[in-house]
């Protein structure tokens, strides 16, 4: 087992905020490494440093034993480190091929674009990922999951050694999540090292070989998945035992007074929305990105 990556005393300060403080840990070559921590723990900041979006205030990163200091994402990509952000970087009106080769187009000897070769290579990459996607249509016409696959295809077509996923399942349906997990297995089998950020601890337990927990910008622990479980991870994340993730609802509220009733509400975003809220209730509103879940409150 050799380490592909090492963080040494990585600290990142933003004006008034110490986002990371002396973070030290290693990532083993070929593993799926989960990064967990509460909101604001520093996970995204650390991954943005690794992928060249930010530079550390102090501290070092070693990639395959060599100290690296990425000053932009392109440098990181050229050395094999790519990140799939929650917000994709695809150009909506370009198709998969044009997106994947944007800024690094393949040209023929006469300088003209070698569209046929780029198309062929895109097909090969998507085939390797077992993704059946229409590569001729603008990506805006594709589902979120298909767009995510194109982001991944883009990353691995630049010879990716480390691929970082930041909350990859946030906008996916159950079936799409399964497709993504299969794809991650394929990437792992190809020897790609994966860093996986998620708040869904079931996903971490299912997909990861090892985990690292951050809390308030500091490293808490790194351990093998067989040495941890959900309660243990929550304890590391919050720094104490949490016996009640979801306390029983307050059944002592006898007054069932209805505070708000929304009936047959429609506008440009929502259609025939109905709900009521009683005094003392917590109302959960669920849905995929774009379901319009925030819109009723904007009215």
Chain positions contacting ligand ATP, by CB under 6 A? 14, 17, 19, 37, 39-45
| Choice between 23 and 142, CB closer to ligand ATP | 23
80: alpha, beta or left, given left = phi > 0 and alpha = psi -120 to 50? Answer: left
| Choice between 15 and 111, CB closer to ligand ATP | 15
Query: Nearest distance from residue 49's CB to ligand ATP, in Å?
Result: 10
Q: What is the CA radius of gyration of the chain?
A: 22
Parallel, antiparallel, or unpaired: how do β-strands 162-166 and 81-84 relate?
A: parallel
Query: Nearest distance from residue 130's CB to ligand ATP, in Å?
Result: 30
Give CA 236 to chain center in angstroms.
Answer: 21
236 vs 226: CA distance, rounded Å? 15
| Choice between 23 and 100, CB closer to ligand ATP | 23
CB 61 within 8 A of CB 67: yes
For residue 135, what are its two tokens?
């590569």
Q: Which residues pair with 67 in a beta bridge?
A: 62
Nearest to 279 by CA among 260, 264, 299: 260
Query: Nearest distance from residue 85's CB to ligand ATP, in Å?
Result: 11
| Choice between 44 and 125, CB closer to ligand ATP | 44
69 vs 58: CA distance, rounded Å? 11
114 vs 117: CA distance, rounded Å? 6
| Choice between 41 and 204, CB closer to ligand ATP | 41
| Choice between 125 and 148, CB closer to ligand ATP | 148
10 vs 217: CA distance, rounded Å? 10
Query: Nearest distance from residue 21's CB to ligand ATP, in Å?
Result: 11
86: alpha, beta or left, given left = phi > 0 and alpha = psi -120 to 50? Answer: alpha
Query: Nearest distance from residue 199's CB to ligand ATP, in Å?
Result: 7
| Choice between 44 and 169, CB closer to ligand ATP | 44
Q: What is the DSSP letter of 252?
A: T
Query: Nearest distance from residue 14's CB to ligand ATP, in Å?
Result: 3
Query: Nearest distance from residue 104's CB to ligand ATP, in Å?
Result: 28
Which backbone phi and psi does 223 adopt, to 5 degrees? -155, 165
């Amino acid at each position: 087992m050799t380490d592909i990556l090492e963080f040494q005393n990585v600290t990142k300060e933003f004006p008034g905020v110490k986002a990371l403080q002396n973070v030290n840990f290693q990532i083993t070559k070929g593993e799926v490494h989960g990064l967990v921590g509460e909101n604001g723990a520093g996970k995204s900041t650390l991954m943005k440093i690794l992928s060249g979006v930010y530079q550390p205030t102090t501290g070092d990163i070693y990639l395959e034993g060599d100290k690296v200091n990425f000053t932009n994402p392109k440098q990181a990509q050229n050395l094999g480190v790519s990140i799939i952000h929650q917000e994709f970087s695809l150009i909506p009106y370009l198709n998969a091929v044009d997106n994947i080769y944007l800024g690094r187009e393949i040209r023929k000897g006469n300088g003209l674009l070698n569209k046929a070769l780029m198309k062929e290579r895109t097909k090969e990459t998507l085939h390797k990922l077992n993704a059946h996607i229409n590569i001729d249509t603008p990506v805006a016409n594709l589902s979120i999951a298909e767009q995510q696959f194109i982001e991944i295809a883009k990353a691995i077509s630049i010879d990716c050694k480390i691929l970082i996923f930041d909350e990859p399942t946030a906008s996916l349906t159950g079936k799409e999540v399964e497709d993504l997990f299969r794809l991650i297995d394929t990437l792992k089998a190809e020897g790609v090292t994966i860093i996986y950020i998620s708040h869904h601890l079931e996903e971490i337990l299912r997909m990861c070989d090892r985990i690292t927990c951050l809390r308030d910008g500091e490293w808490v622990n790194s351990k093998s998945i067989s040495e941890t479980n959900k309660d243990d991870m929550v304890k590391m994340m919050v720094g104490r035992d949490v016996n009640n993730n979801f306390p029983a609802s307050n059944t002592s509220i006898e007054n069932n007074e209805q505070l708000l009733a929304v009936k047959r509400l429609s506008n440009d975003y929502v259609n025939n929305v109905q709900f009521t809220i009683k005094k003392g209730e917590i109302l959960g509103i669920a849905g995929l990105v774009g379901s319009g879940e925030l819109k009723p409150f904007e009215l």
